[in-house]
């Protein structure tokens, strides 16, 4: 086995995953970066090595909407010592619940739920009693409250939140060393919504949202979660002056 320790980040070709990989590199970590787009991963590797030339960066291309490919991905990493596994890959399809658009939504269900469950389970199996091991799953504020037009997406993120909190509870109850944590981002300026909903134009976050974070800021919140003892790094609506009960708040425009 490679004697170095690694941080795994899925969905690292853009957005929160991209910035998270760079943030860990700045802390001297070795990275295993995973996504479908090799060109983006190569670009990220170049940026990581500019930040930390000593970082070992391993690239894996994978389509995590395929259960078979997800399992093969994990098995391909058996020779690496993984200190933290971050399940960040996901889709955010929005739309009318009465028009199911099954192919698109099935891909989202496989990616947002199946892949997270598979990778979480396999990582727990192998690292549950390893000191310092962490599983961090990226959910959403949509994993704790419902938004109009995003019912299916929110359902997948409720699954991620429940799964992760349940894992952490079982790890503590069983006396295991692994910690499971969930990050629940609010609106974050990335290409996430544009890609998921096949939009021709870039989303105007200034117009659509009352307040939002950048991907780099959200990566910072993830590192705070990694370094702290909380199970849930939930988005702080109160700091934005937002009440979840206020469905007419400008923050929810277009949702």
Nearest one of 191, 238, 190, 194 to 215, comparing CA atoms: 190
Tell me which residue range forms the domain holding 178: 5-252
Helix (H, G, I), strand (E, B) or coil at 39: helix
Count how many domains the chain has.
1
Place of tokens 């690694």: 6
Question: What per-residue confidence (pLDDT) applies to 191?
Answer: 54
What's the CATH code of the domain at 84? 3.40.50.720
Give the tokens for residue 55. 């970082």
Place of tokens 């894996």: 60
Mean pLDDT, the chain, whole residue set: 85
The confidence band for 248, taking pLDDT boundaries of 50, 70 and 90, is very low
Place of tokens 């930040």: 51
Quote the pTM value.
0.84
């Amino acid at each position: 086995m490679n004697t170095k320790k690694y941080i795994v980040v899925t969905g690292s070709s853009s957005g929160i995953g991209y910035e998270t990989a760079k943030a860990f590199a700045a802390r001297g970590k070795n990275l295993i970066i995973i996504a479908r787009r090799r060109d983006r991963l190569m670009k990220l590797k170049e940026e990581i090595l500019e930040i930390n030339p000593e970082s070992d960066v391993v690239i894996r291309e994978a389509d995590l909407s395929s259960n078979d490919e997800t399992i093969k991905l994990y098995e391909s990493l058996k020779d690496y010592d993984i200190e933290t596994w971050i399940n960040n890959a996901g889709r955010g399809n929005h739309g009318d619940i009465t028009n199911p658009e099954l192919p698109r939504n099935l891909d989202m269900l496989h990616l947002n739920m199946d892949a997270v469950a598979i990778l979480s389970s396999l990582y727990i199996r192998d690292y549950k009693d390893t000191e310092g091991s962490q599983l961090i799953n990226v959910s959403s504020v949509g994993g704790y409250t419902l938004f109009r037009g995003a019912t299916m997406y929110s359902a997948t993120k409720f699954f991620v939140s429940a799964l992760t909190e349940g894992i952490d509870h079982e790890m503590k109850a069983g006396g295991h060393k692994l910690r499971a944590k969930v990050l629940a981002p609010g609106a974050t300026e990335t290409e996430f919504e544009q890609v998921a909903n096949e939009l021709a134009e870039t989303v105007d976050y200034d117009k659509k949202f009352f307040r939002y974070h950048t991907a780099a800021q959200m990566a910072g919140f993830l590192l705070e979660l990694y370094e702290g003892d909380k199970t849930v790094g939930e988005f702080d609506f109160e700091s934005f002056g937002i009440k979840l009960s206020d469905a007419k708040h400008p923050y929810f425009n277009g949702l």
